[in-house]
Chain A
Amino acid sequence: MKPRVIFAGLLSLAIAGALGWAVLERTLPAENLPERVAQAMPLSGVEHPITAVLLNFRGYDTLLEIAVLLLAVVVALALREAQPDRPERMGLENPLLRAVMAWLLPLILITTGFLLWAGAYQPGGAFQAGSVLAAGGLLLRLAGVTTAWLDNPAVLRTGLAMGLLTFLAVGLLVMLPGVPFLTYPTEYAGALILLIELTLTLSIGLTLISLFRLTPPYADDPEEARDQPSSRNGGMAS
């Protein structure tokens, strides 16, 4: 056995032991967070505690998370090569997929809307809705439906940045009466959260679709790519 494997095994076992012991012997947090969240719920504008924490009590985390998403997609955009998304490279040649898409797509859109709306009072919200939306977009793309409108830089950038910009704008606008950043007035909190979640859903969905589109099925092999740039085989096999 290689020393690397032995080292990795010992280290993993040691960390598993330490973590397991920590889980067993943990102390209760001094702050009773569930109770504090429950007390503040009437002020949050929504009825589900996780959505309240995500978008109201700890809105900063979510704001920075959206910024991280935007950063990831900007870096991916910067790293892409000049590869126009030509139709012959896009779809799987599978008529069944196209036929099923006609049935699936409305369901996906309804599910997206439901998840977004449900976030106010049960598990759901912008992230789940955005992921489902992105899944729909990826299926469309795999079925060979054109997504060329996403190549328009203005449309793409607006869509990607919309969630973060709306979040920031709302956070800054509520400062006008003199309260801290991201402190929503109670009577408008529900509507503001819904507005933020709606734009977040669209931006998250678009971000995930863009990250996928930036790596089209396409020759990866350095040799092959030089010889025939439009070849479809390749991949990361090694």
Chain B
Amino acid sequence: MSGALVFAWSGVVLFSLGLFGFIVHRHLLRRLLAFNIMGSGAFLVLVGLAQDGRGIDPVPHAMVITGIVVAVASTALALVVFRRWYRASGRTDLPEDT
């Protein structure tokens, strides 16, 4: 274990925290925030693992920057959809399946 893995560990912690929040909360905005925290954790794991003593691997870095842009766009789209849902139904959560 080396100091280089600190980022990957932080990513693991962020991912788990996000997953916890995603399950526990029902408000759609909170879920979206939790989902974004999960995504940030995944990016951090990818970037943190992209160093293995043979130099920094640019391929995961390029993948992560692609992922960040897609995450921003999908978050914005989710917000648009949530607003329509709220205007249509007056609810901030989805009807529970269980």
Contacts and interface: CB of A to CB of B under 8 A. Distances in A.
Interface in B68-86: 68-70, 72-74, 76-77, 79-84, 86
- Mostly helix, strand, loop or mixed at chain B's interface? helix
Interface in A128-179: 131
Contact of B62 (A12, A23, A54, A215): A54
B76 A211 contact: yes
A221 B27 CA distance: 16
Interface in A13-43: 13, 15-16, 19-20, 23-24, 26, 28-29, 32-35, 37-38
A118 B85 CA distance: 42
Interface residues of A, number: 58
A8 interface: yes
Contacts of B68: 127
A8 B20 contact: yes
B70 A61 contact: no
A72 B76 contact: yes
A15 B73 contact: no
B65 interface: yes
B94 interface: no
Contacts of A12: 16-17, 19-20, 23
A185 to B, nearest CB: 22
Given A15-B19, A23-B45, A68 B59 contact: no
B19 A53 contact: no
Contact of A20 (B9, B23, B88, B90): B9
A238 B86 CA distance: 11
A50 B62 contact: yes
Nearest to B82: A236
Contacts of B12: 16, 19-20, 23
Contacts of B20: 8-9, 11-12
B72 A208 contact: yes
Contacts of B8: 23
B92 A238 contact: yes
A15 B16 contact: yes
B31 to A, nearest CB: 12
B92 A127 contact: no
A49 B58 CA distance: 6
Contacts of A26: 49
A225 B90 CA distance: 11
B56 A76 contact: no
- Interchain residue pairs A-B with the least CB separation, the first 9: A8-B23, A16-B16, A49-B58, A211-B76, A34-B55, A53-B62, A72-B73, A12-B20, A12-B16
9 contacts: A11-B19, A12-B23, A23-B48, A53-B59, A61-B66, A65-B70, A76-B77, A215-B80, A215-B83
Given A81-B84, A131-B72, A215-B80, 17 more contacts: A4-B24, A8-B19, A8-B23, A13-B16, A19-B16, A20-B12, A26-B49, A34-B55, A34-B58, A38-B55, A61-B62, A79-B80, A220-B87, A222-B86, A222-B88, A236-B92, A238-B27
